[in-house]
């Protein structure tokens, strides 16, 4: 695995290779990220210091045309939001095109004296002046590089907003945990890539045989069918609303929506042709939907990243208004979930008589103004940090300082456990796969849930390291991933063990960073993590009091 190590302080770029023995243990993407942190970075590093790296990484399956959902990439860093290693995965075309330039990952350290961007092509690499780009929104920067795939920050990242995101190719984003703020601290505005190199495949005939069967299975999956035709909103709202209710007004209530009515309106707005054009590279699902209506158009919001956070959680149910706010966050470079949570926090503080801000539930115009203020750096702290200033940390639904959404965990035992034990501090949507979406498990039952959560968390670590889409997990298994890697690279791997290693490796780094991890749920949700389930989870993982034991670290070859 070839990667570039870029020092912005000295303006040096070095080509490196990850040892093959380490690749077999960690893969690329997220696995590469924690491998690099464990082997090169002090756990006490300040997230906004020059020594904290930003890592952009593809994986062995990224950009391979016959592979299921091969259009992803992963950003990895230490988060300014909670002082822990963190990742954020995104789609678009950046990951494949980085590989087409002959590069599997980029490690960026140091701090430039002035704004810069990094150019990567199959003809070479360079650090270039970006003074003319500083102050532009993400769409303006993307338009500036017409023939490239672009990852960039908006003004929010420049201003050091802790929940600033990375925008990719205008319509996609690495939303969560403040990666944009780290870029801003380094004076890094963008990374642009293009190339014509074709990644090597070990056995094309074997890959074609295996991948074609997997893609057929994906195509027959009911969840995948809905994702393809209606995206995450159309797939999830009817199912979650029917089972446990959609959280609304900052988890102060929940709503049981008329799923069929919502689908009729949603379906009528989807521009099918544009949706295909804006899909992630090579994806057979193409879940992202582009919307058009009489008064406007824009990228359709995801269920958890937009529909909830900028919609129901703020008392807004008009999909057109939600879409407008979603696209505004894309342009400003703001994490949509944290942005929505900040608005909700401000409203609750206002209603408590603690602040004076002109915003209210359901008023999209006033909410839009507040979000614009966020983009300009007016509210740079995390919602939980802002609430604590007024002694009201009880109003923010957060885990490890990261605001959460998706569904009400009091109705879903496995999801509640997964949320409490999340390494980066937020939800993983596929946790709901068997409890809600496929209805294979009783959501309220504790039976088998600890094992299920471990498997899902390990699975997420694997797909974020291959790097392919997590939605492949609705049908594919660890054995499937092993077979794909063997066909593409010739390497025989145990992906379940790799996922276990990555998850425990991240937890070990974070424990060294913050001292102790406490796996709990936020006061706002009004429930506590089930202690019996948590102890069972620890036993399966080989952890004690939230940290991997020495025996586990040695068994997984982390130390």
- The answer to the question of residue 222 being in a domain is no
Of 388, 403, 418, the residue that ends a domain is: 403
φ/ψ of 552, rounded to 5, equals -65, -45
Only one residue has tokens 């769409």, namely 139
* Backbone CA torsion sign across 432, 288, 94, 337: negative
* Cβ-contact 405, 309 below 8 angstroms: yes
For residue 386, give the H/E element and its range. helix 383-389
Name the band, by pLDDT with cuts 50, 70 and 90, for residue 508: very high
Residue 211 main-chain phi, psi, to 5 deg: -65, -40
Residues 318 and 465 in one domain: no
| Tens of pLDDT, residues 436-447 | 888 889 989 999
Q: Please state the domain count of the chain.
A: 3
- Predicted local distance difference test score (pLDDT) of residue 293: 94
pLDDT, tens only, 330-365: 999 999 999 999 999 999 999 999 999 999 999 999
Evaluate the CA torsion angle 130, 133, 139, 142 in order and state its sign: negative
CATH number at residue 513: 1.10.599.10
What is the pLDDT of the chain when averaged over all its residues?
Answer: 95
42 lies in the same domain as 160:
yes
Cα 205 to chain centroid distance, Å, stands at 33
Q: Is pLDDT above 80 for 242?
A: no
Cβ atoms within 10 Å, residue 44: 11
Q: Are residues 383 and 513 in the same domain?
A: no
The percentage of the chain sitting over the pLDDT mark of 70, rounded to a whole number, equals: 99
Q: Which two tokens stand for residue 178?
A: 């403040």
pLDDT band of residue 414 (cuts 50, 70, 90) is very high
Structural tokens at position 194: 């293009």
Residue 508 lies in a domain: yes
Whether 101 and 245 map to the same domain: the answer is: no
Measured CA to CA in angstroms, residue 457 lies from 90, 190, 215, 346, 501 at distances of 18, 31, 23, 33, 11
335/481 same-domain check: no
| Residue 435: pLDDT band with limits 50, 70, 90 | confident
Residue 35 belongs to some domain of the structure? yes
* pLDDT mean over 531-541: 98
Is position 504 within any domain? yes
Mean pLDDT of 32-48: 98
The pLDDT-based confidence of 549 (bands split at 50, 70, 90) is very high
Residues 130 and 270 in one domain: no
pLDDT level of residue 209 (50, 70, 90 thresholds): very high
Asked if the model's pLDDT at residue 19 lies above 70, the reply is yes
CATH of the domain at 59: 3.60.9.10
**pLDDT confidence of 161, banded at 50, 70, 90?**
very high
The predicted structure's pLDDT at residue 128: 98
Peptide bond into 467 cis (omega under 30): yes
Of the two residues 435 and 48, the one the predictor is more confident about is: 48
Residues 6+ apart with CB under 8 A from 501: 25, 26, 31, 556, 557, 558
The answer to whether the beta carbons of residues 207 and 405 sit under 8 Å apart is: no
CATH number of the CATH domain containing 316: 1.10.569.10
Instruction: Answer yes or no: is 449 within a domain.
Output: yes
Residue 26 reports pLDDT greater than 90: yes
Neighbour tally for 391: CB within 10 Å:
9
Same domain membership, residue 249 and residue 116: no
Strand partners, 174: 166
Is 8 in the same domain as 94?
A: yes
Please provide the size of the chain in residues: 559
**Six-digit token pair at 14?**
């070095």
Domain containing residue 462? 409-555
């Amino acid at each position: 695995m070839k990667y570039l190590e870029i020092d912005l302080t000295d303006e040096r770029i070095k080509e490196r290779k990850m040892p093959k023995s380490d690749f077999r243990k960690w893969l690329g993407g997220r696995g590469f990220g924690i491998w690099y942190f464990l082997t090169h970075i002090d756990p006490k590093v300040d997230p906004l210091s020059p020594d904290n790296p930003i890592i952009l990484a593809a994986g062995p399956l990224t950009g391979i045309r016959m592979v299921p959902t091969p259009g992803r990439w992963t950003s990895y860093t230490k988060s300014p939001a909670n002082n822990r290693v963190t990742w954020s995965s995104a789609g678009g075309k950046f990951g494949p095109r980085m590989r087409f330039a002959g590069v599997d990952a980029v490690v960026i350290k140091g701090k430039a004296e002035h704004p810069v961007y990094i150019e990567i092509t199959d003809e070479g690499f360079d650090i270039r002046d970006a003074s003319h780009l500083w102050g532009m929104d993400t769409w303006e920067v993307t338009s500036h590089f017409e023939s490239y795939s672009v990852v960039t920050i908006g003004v929010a990242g420049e201003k050091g907003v802790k929940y600033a995101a990375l925008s990719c190719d205008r319509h996609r984003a690495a939303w969560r945990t403040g990666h944009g703020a780290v870029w801003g601290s380094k004076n890094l505005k963008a990374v642009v890539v293009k190339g014509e190199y074709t990644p090597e495949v070990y056995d094309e005939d074997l890959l074609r045989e295996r991948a074609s069967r997997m893609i057929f299975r994906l195509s027959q999956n009911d969840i995948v069918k809905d994702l393809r035709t209606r995206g995450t909103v159309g797939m999830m709202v009817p199912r979650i609303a029917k089972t446990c209710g959609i959280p609304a007004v900052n988890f102060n209530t929940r709503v049981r929506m008329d799923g069929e009515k919502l689908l009729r309106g949603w379906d009528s707005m989807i521009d099918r042709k544009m949706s295909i054009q804006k899909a992630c590279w090579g994806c057979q699902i193409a879940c992202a939907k582009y919307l058009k209506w009489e008064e406007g158009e824009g990228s359709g919001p995801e269920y958890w990243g937009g529909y909830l956070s900028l919609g129901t959680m703020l008392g807004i149910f008009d999909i057109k208004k939600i879409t407008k706010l979603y696209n505004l966050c894309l342009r400003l470079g703001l994490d949509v979930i944290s942005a929505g949570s900040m608005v909700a926090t401000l409203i609750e503080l206002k209603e408590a008589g603690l602040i004076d801000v002109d915003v209210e539930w359901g008023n999209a115009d006033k909410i839009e103004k507040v979000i614009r203020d966020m983009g300009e750096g007016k509210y740079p702290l995390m919602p939980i940090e802002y609430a604590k200033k007024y002694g009201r940390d009880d109003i923010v639904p957060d885990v490890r300082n990261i605001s959460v959404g998706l569904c009400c965990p009091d109705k879903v035992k496995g999801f509640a456990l997964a949320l409490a034990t999340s390494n980066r501090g937020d939800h993983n949507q596929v946790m709901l796969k068997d409890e809600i979406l496929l209805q294979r498990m009783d959501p309220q039952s504790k039976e088998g849930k600890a094992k299920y959560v471990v498997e899902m968390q390990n699975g997420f670590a694997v797909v974020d390291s291959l790097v392919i889409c997590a939605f492949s997990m609705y049908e594919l298994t660890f054995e499937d991933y092993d077979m794909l890697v063997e066909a593409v690279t010739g390497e025989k791997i145990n992906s379940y063990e790799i996922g276990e290693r990555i998850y425990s490796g991240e937890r070990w780094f974070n424990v060294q960073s913050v001292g102790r991890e406490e796996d709990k749920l936020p006061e706002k949700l009004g429930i506590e993590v089930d202690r019996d389930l948590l102890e069972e989870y620890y036993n399966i993982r080989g952890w004690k009091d939230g940290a991997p034991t020495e025996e586990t670290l040695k068994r997984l070859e982390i130390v």
